[in-house]
Amino acid sequence: MSEALNGQINLEMWSSYLYLSMSLYFESEGRRGFAKWYRVQSQEEYAHALALIDYVHARGSRAVLQPITGVPAVWNSTLDAVVATLKHEEMVTAQINALYTQAIEEKDYATRQMLNAFIAEQVDEEETVQHIIDDLSLVGDDGTGLLQIDRELGTRTYKEPSFARNA
């Protein structure tokens, strides 16, 4: 279980790096609201990694950081980047579900309990991103609509996840 959790730590760190890359992309495209939203998303993913690190240590094991492989830096459009985000979050959900399945098989009740918060978080993540996709699909190439979505996303602030002990 420890090895699998270390893999999830790496995935959360990679996710943080991906979303920071997306933030930089949107900043360069003049979409400051999207840039801010993705920067906050990056912070959340980093907090998830730290929470997992704390959990691994609390269970008497050792967290080991792995190399972060390259992440994309450019997307074809705003919608393309957000669709890529949804696909990434769906993959993260699948990984967390696999961890949960492993915890069941190993009768690791503590890890199952800890993962419940991550499962709930993923439902929220996917729903939020789907709403952004829906809004972008609705406005299409309308500059006024894109500006409104950008401004709305720019109001997002970082809130430490409730399960993050030392993030």
pLDDT at 166 over 60: no
What number is the average pLDDT over the span 14-23? 98
pLDDT tier at 134 (50, 70, 90 boundaries)?
A: very high
CA dihedral 96, 63, 111, 107 (to 10 degrees): 100
Q: CA–CA separation, 138 vs 130, rounded Å?
A: 12
For residue 141, is pLDDT > 60?
Answer: yes
**pLDDT at residue 56 tops 50:** yes
The set of residues, in sequence order, having a beta carbon less than 8 Å from that of 97 and lying 6+ positions away, is: 119
pLDDT computed for residue 131 by the predictor: 98
Tally: H helices and E strands in the chain: 5, 0
Q: What percent of the chain has pLDDT over 90?
A: 94
Domains defined along the chain, listed by start: 2-153 (1.20.1260.10)
